[in-house]
Structure 1
Amino acid sequence: MKQVHKGRAALAAAALAGSAGLAQADTSAELQELRARVEALEAENQQVTGAPGDFRLGNTAVDIYGYVKADFYYDFDFTQGDTAFVNNIGEPVNATDGEFGATVRQSRLGIRTTTESDFGTLRGQLEFDLFASGGTSELRLRHANVQIGDNWLVGQYWTNFMPLGEYPTSVEFNGPVGIAFARVPQIRYSNSFGDGFDYSLSLEENTAASSDPVATAAFQYSNELFTARIAGLAGTIESGGTEVDQTGVTLSGSIRPWDGGLFQATYVDGEALGPLLIGLGDAVVGGQANDVEGYTLEFRQDLGEKWNVGIGYGREDYDLPTSTGTLSFTELETVHVNAFFNPTDNLTLSAEYIFGERNDAISGNTFDGDRVQFAVQLNF
């Protein structure tokens, strides 16, 4: 359709230009009519192609995106599942001499829309993956939100408390422990001031039982060399008839010291934050808020245009134990070593070694598990 309209506009323009040689024979009204036809065709072409998108519905541009991903993994000591859940390590029921598994549940499908309106640009997002409950491959909602102009976001998206820009890269779904990871319904306002300074404020639904919203605020500075961000959170959590305060702060940053190199780190500290973290420690234990401290470190390096490699480390330390069945934990630790190869722009082959360790808060013993994982991912 785009090429047809361009051709029609060009043809009319050529006719108009050719008419200059016959100016004495053409009347002024005929010239004006030709000019009007060219302007109408150009306006029609602009309306059809004015906003980018895979296709259009009325004045809305629509993009379909996502990927198909197949993961193959092998657990050497304890079965962790298709998300490399370190909390499973140590439990007798998960002990194994070696177990192979495969999954396509990380595959993802999303829709983005862009519409020009009297309120400015309206953007929508609806995204699903296949991580349904009970290990089944059924659609699960990830994101569903509306962005009004450049400042307002309403709907489900990553929590504002999460350092999304400094999240470590991994082949398996979770990544290192020690970092916030949650998608929640929210109302968020974002803006910028000065050169490189941004801030965002939000009211969000709590990931744990609560009758109150969670309030967050984040401030960030970034340039071509490094990024620094701080985020705070405040809310309440209810457990067993007891209400406790939930507070926390996240510090994160990254630096690119040379071409293709990346160092980044995150640090989180607070009370009753377990449901927001990868380790999913209990927020409340025995009527008391469970304090937690966590951090991640990552180094990545590009090797040419098609390869990149990295190592990520994560740790979570809780004051009070979280039960996992016959055992409980106060400490979790993970290491991810991975490599990614892009033979084409939209095809990625990857491999990863994962080490996980957890303690048993009752006996004082520690347990560890090893895992290797390979994946093929096609983006669209």
Structure 2
Amino acid sequence: MSKHPSMRARAPLAAALLLALAAPGSALAQSEREKALEARVADLERQVQMLLSAQQQQQTQIAATQEQVTQVQAAAAPAAPAGKQPIQATTITPGASAGTTFSYGGFIKMDAMATDTSDGRIADGSSGRLFYVPSTIPVAGDGGDPYADFHAQFSRFWLSADHVTDAGDTLKGYVEMDFFGGGSNTLAGNETATNTYAVTLRQAYVSWNNWLAGQTWSNFMDVAALPDAVDFVGPTDGTVFVRQAQLRYTRGPWSVSIENPQTTVTSYLGAARSNSGDNALPDVTARWQAKGGWGHFSVAGLLRQFKAGDRTDGGMAVSVSGKYNLGASDDIRYAANAGSGIGRYLGFGIGSDVVTDAGGDIQALDGYGGFVAWRHAFGPKLRGNLMYAASHFDNDASITGWGVTERTQSFHANLIYSPLPKLDVGAELIYGQRSLEDDREGDLKRLHTHIKYSF
């Protein structure tokens, strides 16, 4: 059965009314969910913002801490000097006063020589095989063939620490060593295998202002007058040559010192020679020196006490020395030394200080010696030297016997070539002679060469 037309018209209207009534509720429900979501999003944004702020604050603190650490490290480390940076990262003298400067130097030296002695060979291992030592020249022995020696024992190095206080006081510590005198007797340390030699003390002293204490050259010795030699010393016969412990005071041209005493003794009739450390008083020296563009001139005096057992004697000596410049290319160097009991100081102890007489007393021996040397520079790379030296001792043969040294002399001529700065290549011809009280003589002829690099 078909429906009434009015009913068919009211059906769409009812649906429309139902939809209109339901729509506000649906819209209201959708709005509440969006608000809830927006609230949650806002809360999450606040949490994220708080996390970002905390992270940024933490990074700022870390950066500040790193900067503080860097500042502390920079303050603890010494400031690097301008220009080329040093090799070491920190000071090389951490135990020294602030501002102390450290320096190092020395040289490497190789010596090679051929020797011919008229009356037998100089004993192997003797110092006379390494450089010219007049007292080692054989006398009244058998001749022989020439012999050669090579060594590097005179290579040297030194260390120095210098400081000037805020008040202007100067302090210096100095140590110098080489490899001569240490010696060795084992297979590993002799010429059979490795030629190993011990480090040997040359100088060790501290100086402050005008004072010096420690081991260095004797104040009686004029180091500045030594000639330019290929040999270790050169004109050894007439040279005062001593290093020893001392206390020295210098003021202007004057210097005075008290130094280690030691007495060398020749027994009655020359039966033996020995050293005595029985001295109760030090050796006393005084020196005056003048210098200028012309060179320098010096006079020194020496007072000594000699003692062996309970027997004593005294002596004194004087030394005049210097260097005179003849021009830009030439100079003369010289020394004249004489005195009673000068033996230990002259030419590596050519003669003794004292001799024991028949009654057991000791008597000082008189001696004298000197040298003169001419140096000429042929050019900036080549120079040469001529030298003469001599010594003489007034022995009483009735006490000393006839077998002691009366005199020595030597001639030296050398050429030294420097192909590069601080590098020397030299050759020296040496003729030396030693004579005994009975006029027996022995001579030495030597060609001495060296290569030396100083730094």
**TM-score over 0.5 (shorter chain):** yes
Question: Which 5+ residue runs of structure 2 have no aligned equivalent?
Answer: 1-73, 123-127, 185-189, 191-196, 264-276, 357-361
CA distance in structure 1 between the aligned counterparts of 2:174 and 2:454, rounded to whole angstroms: 17
Change (3 A) 1:152 1:221: same
Alignment-derived partner of residue 276 in structure 1: 345
Name the CA distance, whole Å, in 1 between partners of 2:387 and 2:333. Answer: 9
How far apart in 2 are the matches of 1:53 and 1:251?
Answer: 46
Distance 1:336 1:207 in 2: 31
Letter aligned with residue 139 of structure 1: V
TM-score by length of 2: 0.67
Gaps (5+ residues) in structure 1?
1-39, 193-197
> The residue matched to 2:280 in structure 1 has which SS?
coil
Deviations 1:207-259 (A, max 9, x none): 43322111111001111013211000112011354211131110012211222
Q: 1:249 to 1:315 in 2, by over 3 A?
A: same
Residue 131 of structure 1 aligns to a residue whose secondary structure is coil
| Conserved 8 A contact 1:160-1:218 | yes
Q: How many residues align?
A: 331
What is the distance in 2 between the residues matched to 1:147 and 1:180? 23
Structure 1, residues 14-41: CA drift from partner, whole Å, max 9, x if none? Answer: xxxxxxxxxxxxxxxxxxxxxxxxxx99
- 1:186-335 equivalence runs, <5 A: 186-192=246-252, 198-208=253-263, 209=277, 210-239=279-308, 241-280=310-349, 281-286=351-356, 287-320=362-395, 327-335=403-411
Deviates more, 1:178-187 or 1:321-330: 321-330
Residue number among 51, 71, 84 corresponding to 2:111 in the alignment: 71
The answer for the alignment partner of 1:350 in structure 2 is 426
Taking the aligned partners of 1:292 and 1:225, their CA distance within structure 2 comes to 31
The structure having more radius of gyration, on CA atoms, is: 2
C-alpha contact 1:178 1:279 (8 A) present in aligned 2:
no
Query: Which AA in structure 2 matches 1:106?
Result: F
Aligned equivalents of 2:418, 2:401: Cα separation in 1:
41
Which amino acid in structure 1 is aligned with residue 404 of structure 2? Answer: S
How has the CA–CA distance of structure 1 residues 133 and 325 changed in structure 2, closer, same or farther, with 3 Å as cutoff? farther
Indicate the SS of the match to 1:364: coil
Name segments (4+ residues, structure 1) moved above 6 Å.
46-49, 52-55, 321-326
Structure 2 residue identity aligned to 1:205:
N
Given that residues 91 and 327 in structure 1 are in contact (C-alpha distance below 8 angstroms), is that contact kept between their aligned partners in structure 2? no
1:117 pairs, out of 159, 165, 168, with 165
CA contact (8 A) 1:87 1:324 kept: no
Aligned-pair RMSD on alpha carbons? 2.9
Which of 238, 257, 262 pairs up with 1:178?
A: 238
For residues 142 and 102 of structure 2, the distance between their equivalents in structure 1, rounded to whole angstroms, comes to 45
Greater CA drift, 199-208 or 140-149: 199-208
Matched, 1:160 2:215: no
Under a length normalisation based on structure 1, what TM-score does the superposition of the two structures give?
0.80
Q: Would you say the 8 A contact 1:337–1:352 is kept in 2?
A: yes
Give the residue type in structure 2 aligned to 1:175. Answer: G
| Counterpart pick for 2:440 among 343, 362, 365 | 365
| Aligned residues of 1:321 and 1:330 also touching (Cα < 8 A) | no
Match of 1:96 in 2: 144
Q: State the alpha-carbon separation in 1 of the partners of residues 293 and 227 from structure 2.
A: 19
Relative distance call for 1:290 and 1:302 in structure 2 (3 A) is same
Partner SS, residue 282 of structure 1: coil
Between Structure 1 and Structure 2, the one with more strand by share is: 1
- Aligned match for 2:134, one of 86, 89, 94: 86
Residue 321 (structure 1) shift: 7.2
User: Do the aligned residues in 2 keep the contact of 1:72 with 1:101 (CA within 8 Å)?
Assistant: yes
Equivalent residues in 2 for 1:123-134 (5 A)? Answer: 123-134=172-183
Shift of 1:299: 0.3
Deviation at residue 344 of structure 1 after TM alignment: 1.4
Partner residue in 1 for 2:274 = none
Given that residues 376 and 385 in structure 2 are in contact (C-alpha distance below 8 angstroms), is that contact kept between their aligned partners in structure 1?
yes
Residues in 2 aligned to 1:53 and 1:247: alpha-carbon distance in whole angstroms: 52
Amino acid at match of 1:365: R
Partner of 1:147: 207
- Structure with the larger helix share: 2
3-state secondary structure, aligned to 2:160: strand
- Relative to structure 1, the CA distance from residue 102 to residue 157 in structure 2 (aligned partners, 3 Å threshold; closer, same or farther) is same
3-state SS of the aligned residue for 2:170? strand
Q: 1:90: Cα distance to partner?
A: 2.8
Does the CA-based 8 Å contact 1:91-1:325 persist in structure 2? no
SS at match of 1:57: coil
Shift of 1:175: 2.1
Shift of 1:46: 9.4
Aligned to 1:21: none
Amino acid at match of 1:187: L
Does structure 1 retain, via aligned residues, the 8 Å contact 2:139–2:441?
no
Question: What secondary structure sits across from 1:76 in the alignment?
Answer: strand
Q: Is the 8 A contact 2:241 2:348 kept in 1?
A: no
